[in-house]
Structure 1
Amino acid sequence: MKYLHIILLSLLAVHASAAQATEIAFSDAWQQLLKVSDKLQASAQEVNRAQAEKDAGDDLNLPSLSINGSYTRLEKPIELDLRDLNPLANLDPAALPPALGGALASIPGSLFVTPFTEQDIFRSSLQAMWPIYTGGRITAAQGIHAAQVAEKEQQHQLSTRDLFLQLVERYYAVSVSHSLANTKQQLVEALTEHADHAIKLERQGQIAKVERLNAQVALENAKVDYASARRQLEMTQIALSRMLHQQAVDTASPLFIVASSPSLPQLSQLTLSHHPALKLLEAKERQAQGLIDVEKGSYHPTVFLYGNYTLYEDDSLFSKVEPDWMVGVGVKIPLLSRDGRSGKVEAAKSALLQARYTKAQTQQDLSLLLEQSYRQLQQAEEEVDSLRLSLTLAQENKRLRDLAFSQGLSTSIEKVDAELKLSAVQTQQLAARYRYVLAYAKLMAISGQLDEFVGRARSAQER
């Protein structure tokens, strides 16, 4: 009876822990994870950043407008002395008539000086520049930004699929741990009853001491396994709870087997036409092609409109002569450059080829991964089907051993062996069903059918 008392206390502890946990369906767990996942939030911000950079690149088509101001101090003001100009510069006052020479000599020298600027110059103006032809570089740069947005979006999709598989693994690990703990619990209960019975039979002299010890040893081992199963259940629940950012959660959706296996050709078609990894590499190709166009555009001239409007200037003669505004058309033609344009074009071409080769390799890898996952699904399904017959055999064997032992026609060792075989088959079946769900989830994630898996999980819960 003391063994039964210990088991009851353990069961009460497990039930108390389970009562505090909130059951959640897989579909609800997935929606919760989409809301609280820090990984997805970080990935979404990558998309937002790329979109903002793309929006900034759209402004390359617009003109630039700026207000410029300056203060300049000259060594001395700019002045013009008329006596430095012909014919006064070559005029000899001694050669002139005395009256005329005297008249010129009496004129102050300051009257011959014309100031053009002050020594301190203040200026401000409104300047505009609008490129109207850049050899396709602006269009190429905008295309690169658009491709970068597509790349980040596909990376976000990949992160979503990876997180989905992680949720499937943790969610159904809780379900498996529950079933495993129940299996170990049933084994402990059966062996407890058998150990008590064996003690009574030994006292009555119907069985040997070794058979009673065998029953008790088997019970102790079963209790250790049951305690381990309960700890495993607690760890899986903690992992799921932390993933969903909740205190304590439990699963409500059971393991399931799909009635009809998915079509491998259809899965392959969906994968090779819509997988985010391939779309990401296509975006890489567009970026590399845009980089080629940018570098090639540096060989073309740049044509631009420009204008200037003076907002403030001093009252010097030079300011009065200078016009208040001006507009024009400019062109810049590159002849020689030391920025290595040809090398950059070749580097961009290499990047394009790299993206294409990587895409081809990724297609092969995805096809192989799809084939392997499909074979794993089939193998797990075959194991589940095979273990159904094994489970029936183990149950029947246990029933016969129980009956034979109660009639003294079977030993305690044979009865314990029957209990252990039944528990082992049940454990194997749980593992096979878990591997099936993981393989099915991987197939759905690779082919982009996450909603299909969620629907299957919901249907399994409703049955």
Structure 2
Amino acid sequence: MKFPHFVCWSLLLAVGTSSAQPMTFDNAWQQLLTVSDKLQAESQEVLRAQAEQKAGEDLGLPSVDIKGSYTHLEKPIELDLRDLNPLASLGSESLPPALGGALASIPSSMFVTPFTEQDIFRASLQAMWPIYTGGKITAAQGIHAALVAEKEQQFQLVIRDLFNLLVDRYYAVSVTETLMQTQLQLVASLTKHADHALKLEEQGQIAKVERLNAQVALENARVSAGSAKRQHEMAMIALSRMLHQQSIIPSSQLFMLQNQPSLPRLSQLTMTQHPALKLLEAKEDQATGLIDVEKGRYQPSVFLYGNYTLYEDDSLFSQVEPDWMVGLGVKVPLLSREGRSGKVEAAKSALLQARYTKAQTQQDLSLLLDQSYRQLLQAQEEVLALDTSLTLAEENLRLREIAFNQGLSTSIDRVDAELKLSAVKTQQLGAKYRYIQSYARLMAISGQLDDFIGRTNQL
């Protein structure tokens, strides 16, 4: 027994989805938050910024180091007493004979005092504690905090982008499935019509061209049904890959609101809560902190320092040198090759750039909000207007069917009525999909993701 094409496709589709489990949009969203690699990558950016912020908290703490050294001298440092005044100015001839003879009898090595060895080993514990740095440490810590805020807002932007993408892919499965079923119904209807036309041709009630027209329409419908089937398969694959699942059957259906959201309220929420604006505010804070850092390079630095000797050789110099020392140091910058004034101007330019970018982003968000809202209204109007067109197309098909069976209408009229009905269904389905997309964008822009999810749970 040979099954019609649309029956075979339906059987294959049923086999392919037999192991799939129904999944609501809420469950799909929770699954995406868990398995999204992009989201995990962005979360690591946040963690990295937080780790850098934590590291910056130690900038004001003292540093303690163990320092060791080995030094090889050309020769040991020694002191010859005969080189010191007044002995150096006295010659043996100027001394009394008894004293000069006594000095001459003393070995020269007795006058030499070694201070160090030729190889010197040292180890010490050194500490430094900044007391005042001209505000550079405080500014650097503020930059780290602003960087954390920036990465957190970037994370929120990624969440909203993923939300819109999930809405597109999740409901695309339902839309393409309905479109496929519409095309399969068209194939089934045109198959019956072609069979009927063949019988009428055999009975001599219609011309051959009428039967050929029905056959051509059927073949075209089969091609369209095949295309719709592949679109549905690609939508299923895209959603499954996104959620890291083998196969998924969306259970949340397309919907429309009875009362549309308030545009002024959406605008207020967007301008006060949108992550892109908060991200740019964090960049402003970073630029302000950078200005403070560069200005701090003009200020003096005050610090405490100390040193404790852990190991030293047994030389006279080591015995003279104290084992430990502490002190207060001051460093005043006078001339620098770092271009401090240019860096200050560059930091000010970064601040102005962030402010101008924020102003432009506010305009872009306002425009995007207005466009999405009007697209929502346009899609709603199309859906409602096509209800009447759908009723008309169904009635027209019914009448054309009766007229064709009675020989009062041609096959072309019958096929055109069938195609018009399919076109109206497809057009209305597309309008409902655009409505969902526009509503999701509005909720994502204004930060009301939970409101959209709540609507899907009410169905």
Report the TM-score, using the length of structure 1 for normalisation.
0.97
Question: How do 1:103-252 and structure 2 match up within 5 A?
Answer: 103-252=102-251
Does 201-210 or 169-178 show the bigger shift? 201-210
- Residues 5-37 of structure 1: CA deviation (Å, up to 9, x unaligned): 333223222222232433221111111111111
- The alpha carbon displacement at 1:447 in A equals 0.7
The aligned counterpart of 1:56 is 55
- Residues 170-215 of structure 1: CA deviation (Å, up to 9, x unaligned): 1111110010011111111111111111122222222222222221
- The alpha carbon displacement at 1:446 in A equals 0.7
Does 5-14 or 119-128 show the bigger shift? 5-14
- The alpha carbon displacement at 1:69 in A equals 0.5
What percentage of aligned pairs have identical amino acids? 74
Matched, 1:347 2:342: no
Question: How do 1:314-333 and structure 2 match up within 5 A?
Answer: 314-333=313-332
Matched, 1:439 2:438: yes
Gap regions ≥5 residues in structure 1: none
RMSD: 1.3
2:192 aligned counterpart, secondary structure = helix
| Runs of 4+, deviation exceeding 4 Å | none
- The alpha carbon displacement at 1:413 in A equals 2.0
Paired with 1:386 and 1:57, the residues of 2 have a C-alpha distance of 62
Question: How do 1:76-91 and structure 2 match up within 5 A?
Answer: 76-91=75-90
Paired with 1:5 and 1:371, the residues of 2 have a C-alpha distance of 48
Matched, 1:10 2:25: no
Letter in 2 for 1:185: L
Paired with 1:212 and 1:183, the residues of 2 have a C-alpha distance of 23
1:19 aligned counterpart, secondary structure = coil
Paired with 1:419 and 1:429, the residues of 2 have a C-alpha distance of 16
- The alpha carbon displacement at 1:135 in A equals 0.4
2:17 aligned counterpart, secondary structure = helix
- The alpha carbon displacement at 1:352 in A equals 0.3
Paired with 2:354 and 2:5, the residues of 1 have a C-alpha distance of 64
Letter in 2 for 1:22: Q
- The alpha carbon displacement at 1:229 in A equals 0.8
The aligned counterpart of 1:270 is 269
Report the TM-score, using the length of structure 2 for normalisation.
0.97
Does 121-130 or 78-87 show the bigger shift? 78-87
Question: How do 1:339-418 and structure 2 match up within 5 A?
Answer: 339-418=338-417
Paired with 2:387 and 2:159, the residues of 1 have a C-alpha distance of 35
- The alpha carbon displacement at 1:442 in A equals 0.7
- The alpha carbon displacement at 1:428 in A equals 0.3
2:18 aligned counterpart, secondary structure = helix
- Residues 18-71 of structure 1: CA deviation (Å, up to 9, x unaligned): 324332211111111111111111111111111111111111011000000111
Question: How do 1:270-289 and structure 2 match up within 5 A?
Answer: 270-289=269-288
- The alpha carbon displacement at 1:409 in A equals 2.9
Paired with 1:433 and 1:163, the residues of 2 have a C-alpha distance of 21
Does 409-418 or 258-267 show the bigger shift? 409-418
Paired with 1:79 and 1:7, the residues of 2 have a C-alpha distance of 107
Letter in 2 for 1:137: K
- The alpha carbon displacement at 1:355 in A equals 0.4
- The alpha carbon displacement at 1:224 in A equals 1.2
Paired with 1:267 and 1:284, the residues of 2 have a C-alpha distance of 25
Q: Structure 1's 13 and 95: CA in aligned 2 closer, same or farther, altered over 3 A?
A: closer
Matched, 1:308 2:304: no
Q: How many residues align?
A: 459
Paired with 2:196 and 2:14, the residues of 1 have a C-alpha distance of 27
